[in-house]
Amino acid sequence: MFSGVYCPSVTLIDDSGAIDYPAMAAHIDRLAESELNGVLFFGSIGEFFSFATEEKAEFLKFAVKQAAGRFQVLAGVSAVRLGEVLENIAGASVIVIVNPQFLSQIKHLHKPFDTLTTSWTPCLPTF
């Protein structure tokens, strides 16, 4: 399922701190022109906790539409609450999740991933 070149993307914002959709459309088009195989939005570079669930869901739908099949959209769906993780999934080819940072006991580390992989249909690769 994976071959080629994948990269994370920054999230461009306007002066008010909101996602700059026109700038992101141009950015996504430039990424597509570079013939990448996939792009990760809302990865672990900070954005996954910088935007509300609704903002991330709206943007991921936008990114999938703007990419228009030219590359795989990988959705960073990390959040502190599992319910928010599930709400963040928006039609991406692949999701990427970081384990909640506050889970310090090893025996509990798998629980968010178990819930996610059994709750999400279709169950596509989760990293």
3-state secondary structure 41-62: ECCCCCHHHCCCHHHHHHHHHH
Question: How many CB atoms within 10 Å of residue 70?
Answer: 16
Which pLDDT does position 13 carry in this prediction? 93
Which pLDDT does position 15 carry in this prediction? 96
Which pLDDT does position 124 carry in this prediction? 47
CA distance 23 to 21: 5
Which pLDDT does position 92 carry in this prediction? 58
For the entire predicted model, the pTM comes to 0.76
Which pLDDT does position 127 carry in this prediction? 47
Mean pLDDT by 10 residues, the chain (127 residues): 87 94 98 94 76 86 94 82 67 66 52 60 48
Which pLDDT does position 51 carry in this prediction? 86
